[in-house]
Structure 1
Amino acid sequence: MSWIDAAAWSSAILLLAGLVLLRRHWSRLPALEDDPPLPADPPTVCLCIPVRNEVRELPAAADSWLAQDYPALRIVAVDDGSTDGSSEVLRARETARPDRLRVLRNDHLPPGWLGKNHALHLASEQPEARAAIWLLFADGDVQASPSLLRRAMAFALRQPTDILALIPAVDVGSPGERLALPLAASAFLVLVPPHRVPDPRHPAFCGVGGFTLVRRAAYDAVDGHAGAPLEAVDDMMLARRVKQAGFVNRVARGGPDLHLRMYHGLWDVVRAMRKNTAALPIWWTIPVALPVLMAVGLSPLWLPFAGHPALALLLWLLVPALAGDVQQRITGRPMDLIWALWPLNAFPLGWGTAWAFADRLRGVNHWRGREVRLRP
């Protein structure tokens, strides 16, 4: 077998293995009950929301949390130096619902913190959060159906749980978002085996920026966000630290009742990769891993020239069919024909990852107009 044949079959096997894992993990991802009972005196929850220049999605997101039918919910939103009208959106809703929402304005980022981590830390230190039995962390662009928190809490109380993540549906608008984000969401499910997350002997863990519910006691045991103030992937790493401290981590389906539009256009997607891709502990493997990922992602384009046109066609059709089916179930929306162009995702993947690696070599993290040094 020539080296090109070996590369062709290796790429095909990696893609097919990813699809098998995606389907397997999705089938093992538990769902929330539709209308579960709650205790007569449900445990208190404080939702902590960091907001920085999110005026396009914030109104609907804030309204969805204010409309939750969970009675023991209080919300603390930290306006982290917004300049786009987000402040006015939050203040209007605080005025309308002071019984449920309190807004803090923060214009100073101390040294040694990333902005989101500091905002969540500030929220977690407020009286409402200090008094709560559970903390819920959700980004400022996340929308939830009115019963979602009640159903998630019932799920957490039904079995030993200290930190629960829900997988949201991702809303898309532009062609670039429609092409890139469904496959990115599928890749997350490939990497996280949900049936292994609660197993204390298995290293799998899961936290999600759209919805991470954690017991206050577990959060304090790992010093919360103050325990990792420069951790860019704060949601996943919080779950990792909590699980490593001996607490129980679980993950379940959130979408379509939990959904968010994270980005507006392909440029936003690439900038998010710049923030997150090199934030994981194994970031130093990027120079080796990126060429492999690019070759696998582009394999339907180069396999015909390597003498494997049938294999290329099979992969081209299977990825949108199988990954697309999972995305339809998460989002509740029909398959998008643009997914047929999925190999083109390799180009923004390569661009964003290389940019993230360059930032990491410089020792900085860049997001929403802030550049923070990751080391002295």
Structure 2
Amino acid sequence: MIWIALAACLAWAVLLLGRGFFWRARDDDSDAERLPEPARWPAVCAIVPARNEAETIAATVRGLTAQDYPGPFRLVVVDDRSSDGTGDLARGAGDDRLLVVTGTGKAPGWSGKLYALQQGLEAVKGEGHEFLLFTDADIEHSPDSLRRLVARALADDRDLVSLMARLRCDSLWERWLIPAFVFFFQMLYPFRWSNQPKARTAAAAGGCVLLRRAAFEARGGLLPIKGRIIDDCSLAGLMKGGGSRIWLGLTERVRSLRAYDDIGTIRAMVVRTAYAQLFYNPLVLIGMVAALSLVFLAPPLLAILGGGWARWLGLLAWSGMVLAYAPMLRRFGLSPLRGLALPLVATIYLLFTLDSARAEWAGKGGLWKGETLSRG
């Protein structure tokens, strides 16, 4: 047990000191108002893929049409075979800058979201937009969101700028599981590393991605990643791998409207992509189970059930865990003491990941809104 305890302590030392200080949750857009504004504001086209988003699409469209962006702006909503009146609600919330495209069934080899985005791109082909904004139908933008995104892209010479929307954290299950979702994402993709041009890490958050159109098209557009389930990080990897500078940060300017009122809805979100994140590889899955068990489960078990040095080292590792999680909890307005329960939360996410693998093996991988996409 002493060796397990030492390994757990070493793991937390590496996480605290050796992964870009991801846990401090300070890679955000809090400096956005200090960015210099360009002499000329480029033309931007926002594309919103929407399928059965009647509850949120009107708020999304209103937020985008209310942007204080000084340059030319165009909005395209792709109504992806909705049966709940999403397209009509979008039209009712928009203005003369809005185009609603009626989507068709996805082409072979494409994921539903990416093919909807592709149809939006085809609808504005030939128009002179210098930047593209891909944003989801459940995302609400503050009035200065687009202006700050473009200012960062131009000031920092970035071809991709992405914001991780602030996820809703109101219900019981949201308060326990949503902060951990963002924490685990940052642990997997340290934002600081992703934002460094020489680092291999590349990440984006699909709810809000601004792209320099020329660079995006030079990489082949969406075609090289057309079947990917984890489309946002795949897009970031495509851009950065081609030599582009990218940037990802947390924000309060962009908010997700999607409610996760019960554990089942959170489970569905995670199960859709978790096994794809592990490259559909059973050996990687086994390694992930072992790693999560060592990092998150061993410390409290050693602290409670162990003895001697194993107990003290377990307490030390558990303390490191609580320390690392505290900044994320504070961002969501929650008590840092909730970090004591992070081992239980991690166990739930571990079970979600195993369920994701089970779904893939059953031929139901990537299930979202009635469609599956396996091995994308």
Paired residues of 1:46 and 1:128 also in contact (CA < 8 A): no
5 Å-filtered alignment, 1:222-233, equals 222-233=219-230
Aligned residues of 2:229 and 2:276 also touching (Cα < 8 A): yes
Query: 1: CA distance between counterparts of 2:17 and 2:29?
Result: 18
Q: Distance in 2 between matches of 1:89 and 1:223?
A: 33
Quick check: 1:19–1:323 contact (8 Å CA) kept in 2?
Answer: no
| 2:221 maps to 1:221 | no
1:267 aligns with 2:264: yes
CA shift in 2, pair 1:190/1:62, >3 Å = same
Q: 2:276 aligns with which of 261, 279, 285?
A: 279
Measured at CA, do residues 45 and 365 of structure 1 come closer, stay the same or move farther in structure 2, by a change above 3 Å?
A: same
The CA distance in 1 between the partners of 2:85 and 2:323, in whole Å, is 41
Aligned residues: 366
- Residues 165 and 256 of structure 2 are in contact (CA less than 8 Å); yes or no, is this contact kept in structure 1? yes
- How big is each residue's C-alpha offset from its partner over 1:248-272, in whole Å with a ceiling of 9 and x where there is no partner? 212234x212221445122122112
Indicate the residue corresponding to 2:69 in structure 1. Answer: 70
Contact 1:35–1:151 under 8 Å retained in 2: no
Question: C-alpha root-mean-square deviation of aligned residues, in Å?
Answer: 2.7
Tell me: CA distance 1:15–1:369, structure 2 relative to 1, closer, same or farther (3 Å): farther
Q: Does 1:173 align with 2:170?
A: yes
- 1:300-315 equivalent positions in 2, closer than 5 A: 300-303=299-302, 304-307=304-307, 308-315=310-317
Question: What residue number does 1:246 align with?
Answer: 243
Separation in 2 of the partners of 1:37 and 1:365?
A: 41
Matched, 1:350 2:356: no
- What residue number does 1:87 align with? 87
**1:44 aligned onto 2:43:** yes
Residue of structure 1 equivalent to 2:124: 127
Pairwise CA distance, 1:21: 5.4
Amino acid at match of 1:209: G
Cα distance in 2 for residues equivalent to 1:66 and 1:154: 18
Could you tell me the TM-score, scaled by structure 2's length? Answer: 0.87
Which blocks of at least 5 consecutive residues in structure 2 are unaligned?
A: none
The answer to whether the aligner puts 1:208 opposite 2:213 as a matched pair is no
Which is further off, 204-213 or 287-296?
287-296
SS in 1 for 2:372: strand
Judged with a 3 Å threshold, the aligned counterparts in structure 2 of structure 1 residues 245 and 281 are, in CA distance, closer, same or farther, namely farther
After superposition, the C-alpha distances for 1:144-178 in whole angstroms (9 at most, x for unaligned) are: 21112111211111122111122332222322221
CA distance, structure 2, for counterparts of residue 57 and residue 314 of structure 1: 44
Map of 1:284-363 to 2, 5 A cutoff?
284=281, 285-303=284-302, 304-307=304-307, 308-316=310-318, 318-329=320-331, 331=332, 333-335=333-335, 338-361=338-361
CA–CA distance in structure 2, aligned partners of residues 130 and 21 of structure 1: 45
- Greater displacement, 34-43 / 203-212: 34-43
1:291–1:76 Cα change, 3 Å: same
Cα separation, partners in 2 of 1:347 and 1:36, compared to 1, 3 Å: closer
Structure 1 unaligned spans of 5+: none
Partner of 2:154: 157
Normalising to structure 1: TM-score of the pair? Answer: 0.87
Deviation (angstroms), 1:87: 3.3
The residue type equivalent to 1:297 in the other structure is F
| Deviation larger for 197-206 or 348-357 | 197-206
**1:185-241: CA deviations, max 9, x gaps?**
012222333343344432111211121111111211222222221100101101101
Matching residue of 1:258: 254
Alpha-carbon distance change, 174 to 15 in structure 1, aligned in 2, over 3 angstroms: farther
